[in-house]
Amino acid sequence: MTSSMIEVKETAVPPARRANGGLRRASGLSQPAVRADRSSSGAMTVTIRRVLCVLPLLLVTVVAVRQRAVLSEGFGLLATARWPWLLAAAGLTCLTWVAAACTRQGAVLERLPGRRLLATQFAAGAANHLLPTGLGASAVNLRFMAVCGLSPARSSAALALYLLAECVGRVGLLGALLVVFPDALPFGSLLPDEVPVGAFLVGGAVLVVVVGALASVRRVRTVVGGFLRTALGEARSVHVRPARALALWGGALAFPALQAGVLVLVAQAFGLSVPAAHLAVAYLAATVAVALVPTPGGIGSVEAALVVALVAVGGAAAVATAVVLVFRLITVWLPLLPGAVTLAALVRLKVI
C-alpha cells in the first residue's frame, strides 16, 4: 500500500518541473544565484541610463566652453538688432522641428506618437550639435523607432529614406532657386583658380577600390542586399499612401526653406541690404558645401561658409558676420541647453 502511494506521488510530478529541476541541477545555478545575476544586470542598466541622462549636459558644457568667444560675440550683437525680426526668426526656428517630425513620420507606415516624436526631434537637434554631423540625430531617432516597435532593419530603412529625402529636398530647392535666380550667387568668385584635378582622381580611385573590395566579400554583399531590399520595400509602401508621401517630401522641402527664412529674418534685423532670394541661395549653397565636413553640427565650418556666401551675394563683411553669428545663436546655441535637458528626460522616461 505504501509503495503504491509512493509510485502515484512520483508519477504526479509534472515532467516540465522535473526537467527544470534537472536543468537547474545540471547548470549548477541555484535560485538565489539567478536572482543575484538579474539584479546585477538591472543595476548596470540603471547606471548606464543615469550616465546617459547626465552626458548631454556635460557635452553642452564642453562645447559652450570651447566656443565661448563666439557665444559672447553673438550675445553682444543682440543689442544692436531689431528685436521684432529676431522674435519672428525664433518662431520660425520652432517650426523647423515640426517639419523634421513630419519628415520622420512620412518615412514609416506606422503612426508614431506625435508629442513624443516632436520632443525627440527637438532632442535630436541638440544631439546633432554635440556629435559629428548626422550621427547624433540618427542615433536618437533609431532608438526612438526601436522603442516604438520597429525592427532594426525597418528603422535603418526609414532613416535612410529620411536622409535621402532631406538631401534631395535641400539640393532640389537650391537648384530651383538657381533656375529662377541664375545670378543670385556668383560661383566664379567662390571657386579656386586652380581645381585640384589630381586630388579628385586619387580620391575617386580610392573610393572605387574600397567599394570593389567590400563588394567582393560575400557577407557584405548579403547584408547590403538585404538592407536594399528592405529599404526599397519601405519606400514603395510609404509612397503608396499619399499622406505619408506628402509628409515625407513636404517636410524635406519645408525644413531647409524654414531655415533659409530664419536667415532672411535675421538679415532684416541687422539691415543687410541683400534680396531675400539671394540670401536663401547663399544659405542653401553654404550648407550643401559643408554637408560632408565631420564637425559637430557643422560648428565653425557653417559659420565660415555662410559669411563667404553672404559676402559673395553682396553683403558687407561686418554685417554679414553679425548676421551669421546671431543666426547660429538662434538656431544652434539657444536651443542647445533645453534640447539637452529634453534628451536627458527622454532617456530617463525610456522614450528613447
The domain limits of the chain are 74-348
pLDDT of residue 12: 47
DSSP type of residue 112: P
When mean pLDDT is compared over 16-25, 153-162, 307-316, the highest value belongs to: 153-162
Lowest mean pLDDT among 11-25, 89-103, 268-282: 11-25
Higher pLDDT, 157 or 319: 157
For residue 42, give the amino acid letter: G
**pTM of the shown model:** 0.76
Determine the average pLDDT of the residues in 33-59.
Answer: 57
Least Cα distance to 341 among 135, 130, 73, 145 occurs for 130
pLDDT at 160 exceeding the cut of 90 = yes
Could you give the CA distance from residue 155 to residue 110 in angstroms, rounded to a whole number?
11
DSSP states along 211-248: HHHHHT-HHHHHHHHHHHHHHHHHHHHHHHSHHHHHHH
- Chain centroid, CA 236 distance in Å: 23
From the CB of residue 322, how many other CB atoms can be counted at a distance below 10 Å?
A: 24
pLDDT above 70: percentage of residues in the chain: 71
Lowest mean pLDDT among 46-55, 68-77, 180-189: 46-55
∠ CA 225-229-232, rounded to 5°:
135
Give the CA distances from residue 292 to residues 1, 138, 141, 297, in Å, rounded to whole numbers and listed in that order.
86, 15, 20, 11
For residue 219, give the amino acid letter: R
pLDDT of residue 226: 84
DSSP states along 171-208: HHHHHHHHHH-TTSS-HHHHS-SS--HHHHHHHHHHHH
Could you give the CA distance from residue 346 to residue 352 in angstroms, rounded to a whole number?
6
The C-alpha cell 520660425 sits at: 92
pLDDT of residue 183: 84
pLDDT above 90: percentage of residues in the chain: 39
pLDDT of residue 17: 45
pLDDT of residue 78: 75
The SS3 assignment for 132 reads strand
Read off the pLDDT band of 199 (50, 70, 90): low
Give the 3-state secondary structure of 29-90. CCHHHHHHHHHHHHHHHHHHHHHHHHHHHHHHHHHHHHCHHHHHHHHHHHHHCCHHHHHHHH
Please, which residues bridge with residue 132 across strands?
A: 296
Collect all residues with Cβ–Cβ distance below 8 Å to 311 and sequence separation of at least 6: 317, 320
∠ CA 68-70-73, rounded to 5°:
105
Could you give the CA distance from residue 193 to residue 181 in angstroms, rounded to a whole number?
24
When mean pLDDT is compared over 196-205, 230-239, 307-316, the highest value belongs to: 230-239
Read off the pLDDT band of 95 (50, 70, 90): very high
For residue 210, give the amino acid letter: V
The SS3 assignment for 296 reads strand
Contact between residue 103 and residue 252 where contact means Cβ atoms under 8 Å apart = yes
Determine the average pLDDT of the residues in 120-124.
Answer: 94
Measured in residues, the chain has a length of 352
Read off the pLDDT band of 47 (50, 70, 90): low
pLDDT of residue 212: 81
* pLDDT tens digit sequence for 257-287: 999 999 999 999 998 888 999 999 999 998 8
Going 314 to 170 to 259 to 91, the CA torsion angle's sign is positive
pLDDT at 190 exceeding the cut of 80 = no
Higher pLDDT, 116 or 336: 116
